[in-house]
Structure formats: C-alpha cells, structure tokens
Amino acid sequence: MWRLRESTHPVLTDAGGAILDERTGRWTHLTPTASAAVMLLLSGATEEEAVGQYATRYGIGAEQAAVDIRTVADALTAQGLATAGPASHRRWWRWWR
C-alpha cells in the first residue's frame, strides 16, 4: 500500500500542498492537483477508488486520472518521501536515524 514515510510531514490543501522531509529539512511543493492525488491516496481508498474519485473531481477520463495519480505517487517514491511497501520498523541499533 502506498504511503508517505514516517519522517515526512505533509500539508495538503485544495490550494496546494507541501511535504517537509524531517531527515533533510527539504520541502517538496505540490500543485493543487498533486495535493488532491496524495490526499486521495492517503485517505485509505484503494488506488482504483482514488482514480475514480480523482476522475470525478476533475472531470477527466479514468485512464488520464490513473496516469496522473501514478505519476505523483512514483515521483514522491523516487524522492524517498513515500514507499509502496509495508511499514518498516526502526531497528534499535540505528536509533539515531
């Protein structure tokens, strides 16, 4: 299941979004549509449900919505802000990370 990493602190609004990575102190800016895509992905819906809601919201086809949502998810995963795997558990011998 796609999710943001524990070290991230997102601000997601209809006017746009931003994600602070506590490991690096860097902000990642999200456009309003990218912010909506992340909100839908984090809402607990499956990716198919998120695609359906996104398509309805912006009046676009399901294919285009799927491409948009996947692009946002992949971009955040590539930046190390999100992960598609299960939650990782911090190991006690690497507590400082």
Partner 1 sequence: MTSMEAFSTVRTGTFLERCAAAAGLALALVLLRLPFRHTTRAVRWARRAGRRPLTAARAEAVVEAVWHTARLWPGRAACMETSLGAVLAAALLGGRLHWCLGVRFSPPPTSYHAWAELPEDGPVGEYTEAGWHHHTALTI
45 makes contact with partner 1 (CB under 8 A): no
Two structure tokens written together for 18: 């931003």
For residue 26, the minimal CB distance to partner 1 (Å) is 8
From residue 6 to residue 35, the character string flagging contacts with partner 1 as x (rule: CB under 8 A) and all else as - is: -x-xxx-x-xx-xxx-xxxxxx-x------
Handedness of CA 8, 11, 17, 22 (dihedral sign): negative
For residue 16, the minimal CB distance to partner 1 (Å) is 5
Rounded alpha-carbon distances, angstroms, from residue 63 to 29, 69, 78, 85: 25, 10, 22, 24
Measured CA to CA, the distance from residue 9 to residue 65 in angstroms comes to 25
For residue 37, the minimal CB distance to partner 1 (Å) is 16
42 makes contact with partner 1 (CB under 8 A): no
Phi, then psi, of 33 in degrees rounded to 5: -70, -40
Return residues touching partner 1 (CB under 8 A): 7, 9-11, 13, 15-16, 18-20, 22-27, 29, 96-97
